[in-house]
């Protein structure tokens, strides 16, 4: 009982089994469209049932193994076996969120994955939480036959993994504005929050969702249905960055003249203000856990050197300090270590760890290729990163590894010519 709705079902045998025949004999009931049964490549007695979507909560399911299953000596199962279970809610612990689509298309699928495989020889469990319908007619408005009717432009899961904030676009209507939705992953309730909204970002405790509209930056409490708008300022140009304790919010914004810069906000007080002593252009904000330190990238010009910059917001010297050329922050791995992309002239671009005290830089030996460095996402804990990387067949997959560069592992296993990973982030 209380099997998580996002959990795969493991079927194990005492004998080594014929993979293809046994996988075909394993069925899930009630049937879930898109369900796959995967044989473990190393343990030939282990099979993974991967439902095509989240299972329904508080629902009885049966996994049956028919007599078509046979061992490696081709001896069939003597009688059908059944496993009955009842679902609960979502599993606890961290997940990853992957936006995927066909090559040349916007994202048409949103996947919730585990952080790595349950056992060697099998893929990381991944469950489809949203899948865009495809046009079955000759055309569906602006969408041709076979095209996805909805594009998922952005998606972020709450830290507890219970809610998904997703920006959707109706592809059938040319010029339609994007819509922000919140989806209850356990129950399936889909709430249309606001048209024209973008760049959602959850607070670390999951209480608030920050997002942008033409009217300003909003802070939404979806439980109490409270939507506050911060004081006026330039519009959001990217996902807000929260400090680990939720006390400070860094807002990447764009001025009317196109200048990209960073504002700060205090969510508790509902105030918004410029970064002290950091006028002009700035992008890619990252805050440390207690919100006392901000890292940004600056393109240079107007007397400002290009590279990564550090600003003490509380305590210490408030003067902005340059970390080095070519540095773009990703997130904090711990209170004294910043993860960043290093594109310094003369060196191959790479992911690095920077000691913010002395400024020492350590290049990670493994990780994304130079072409995929912009896809890096850091876990809230700072201990892991996720990124996109093309496999040997050229298909973009999502990967995860520890922030020190160790233990890289795939999160997706898309086949050639099908879906590809377009973005990856961490969920609760």
Domain boundaries, the chain: 9-86, 95-427
Q: Are strands 9-12 and 179-184 parallel, antiparallel or unpaired?
A: unpaired
Give the CATH number of domain 9-86.
2.60.40.1220
Q: How far apart are CA 166 and CA 144, in angstroms?
A: 24
pLDDT band at 398 (very low <50, low <70, confident <90, very high): very high
In the predicted model, what is the mean pLDDT of residues 213-241?
Answer: 95
**Cis peptide bond upstream of 287, omega within 30:** no
| pLDDT-based confidence at residue 386 (cuts at 50, 70, 90) | very high
Instruction: Rounding to the nearest 10 degrees, give the CA dihedral for residues 192, 196, 198, 203.
Output: -50
pLDDT at 367 over 90: no
Tell me the average pLDDT across 314-319.
Answer: 86
318-355 as b/e, with b when 16 or more CB fall inside 10 Å?
A: eebeebbbbbbbbbbbeeebbbbbbbbeeeebbbbbbe
Residue 428 has pLDDT above 70, yes or no: no
Q: What is the rounded radius of gyration, in angstroms, for the C-alpha atoms of the chain?
A: 23
Identify the architecture of domain 95-427 in CATH: 6 Propeller (2.120)
How far apart CA 50 and CA 196 sit, in angstroms, is 35
Report pLDDT for 347: 75
What six digits make up the tokens of 117?
């495989």
H/E stretch holding 262 reads strand 260-266
* Strand (E) or helix (H) holding 22: helix 19-25
Give the pLDDT band of residue 388 (cuts 50, 70, 90).
Answer: very high
Whole-number pLDDT of residue 233: 95
Chain segment 348-360, per-residue pLDDT in tens: 888 999 999 888 8
State mean pLDDT over 395-404.
91
What local confidence, expressed as pLDDT, does residue 370 receive?
Answer: 73
Contact 353, 331 (CB under 8 A): no
Q: What are the DSSP calls for 380-420, one per residue?
A: TTSSEEEEEEE-TTS-EEEEEEETTS---EES--PPTTSEE
Helix (H, G, I), strand (E, B) or coil at 365: coil
346 Cβ neighbours under 8 A, 6+ residues apart: none
Are the folds of 9-86 and 95-427 the same?
A: no
Confidence category of residue 72, pLDDT binned at 50, 70, 90: very high
Say how far apart CA 136 and CA 256 lie, in whole Å: 42
Query: How much is the pLDDT for 345?
Result: 65
Beta strands, E only, 104-215: 109-113, 126-131, 139-140, 143-144, 150-157, 163-170, 179-184, 190-195, 198-202, 209-213
CA 41 to CA 51: how far, in whole Å? Answer: 19
Given a cut of 90, whether residue 162 has pLDDT beyond it is no
- On the question of pLDDT at 237 being above 80, the answer is yes
């Amino acid at each position: 009982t209380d099997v998580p709705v996002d959990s795969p079902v493991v079927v194990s045998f005492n004998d080594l089994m014929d993979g293809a025949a046994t996988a075909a004999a394993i069925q899930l009931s009630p049937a879930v469209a898109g369900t796959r049964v995967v044989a473990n490549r190393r343990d030939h007695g282990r099979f993974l049932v991967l439902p095509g979507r989240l299972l329904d909560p508080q629902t009885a399911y049966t996994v049956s193994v028919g007599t078509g299953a046979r061992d490696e000596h081709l001896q069939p199962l003597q009688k059908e076996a059944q496993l009955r279970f009842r679902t609960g809610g979502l599993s606890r612990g961290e997940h990853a969120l992957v936006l995927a689509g066909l090559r040349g298309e916007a994202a048409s699928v949103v996947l919730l994955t585990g952080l790595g495989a349950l056992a060697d020889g099998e893929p990381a469990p991944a469950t489809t939480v949203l899948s865009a319908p495809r046009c079955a007619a000759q055309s569906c408005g602006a969408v041709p036959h076979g095209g996805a009717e909805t594009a998922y432009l952005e998606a972020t899961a709450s830290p507890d993994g219970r809610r998904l904030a997703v920006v959707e676009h109706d592809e059938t209507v040319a010029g339609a504005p994007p819509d922000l939705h919140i989806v209850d992953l356990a129950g399936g309730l889909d709430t249309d929050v606001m048209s024209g909204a973008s760049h959602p970002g959850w607070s670390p405790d999951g209480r608030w969702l920050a997002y942008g509209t033409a009217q300003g930056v909003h802070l939404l409490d979806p439980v109490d249905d409270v939507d506050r708008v911060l004081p006026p300022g330039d519009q959001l140009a990217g996902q807000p960055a929260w400090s680990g304790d939720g006390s400070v919010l860094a807002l990447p914004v764009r001025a009317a003249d196109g200048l990209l810069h960073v504002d700060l906000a205090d969510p508790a007080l509902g105030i918004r203000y410029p970064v002290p002593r950091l006028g002009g252009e700035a992008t890619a904000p990252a805050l440390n856990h207690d919100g006392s330190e901000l890292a940004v990238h600056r393109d240079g010009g107007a007397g400002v050197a290009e590279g990564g910059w550090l600003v003490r917001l509380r305590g210490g010297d408030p003067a902005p300090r340059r970390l080095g050329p070519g540095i773009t922050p990703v997130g904090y791995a711990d209170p004294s270590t910043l993860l960043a992309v290093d594109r310094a002239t003369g060196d191959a671009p790479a992911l690095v760890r920077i000691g913010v005290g002395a400024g020492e830089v350590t290049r990670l030996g493994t990780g994304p290729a130079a072409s995929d460095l912009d896809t890096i996402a850091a876990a809230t804990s700072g201990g892991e990163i996720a990124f996109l990387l093309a496999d040997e067949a050229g298909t973009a997959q999502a990967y995860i590894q520890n922030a020190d560069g160790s233990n890289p592992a795939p999160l997706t296993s898309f086949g050639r010519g099908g879906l590809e990973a377009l973005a990856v982030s961490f969920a609760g």
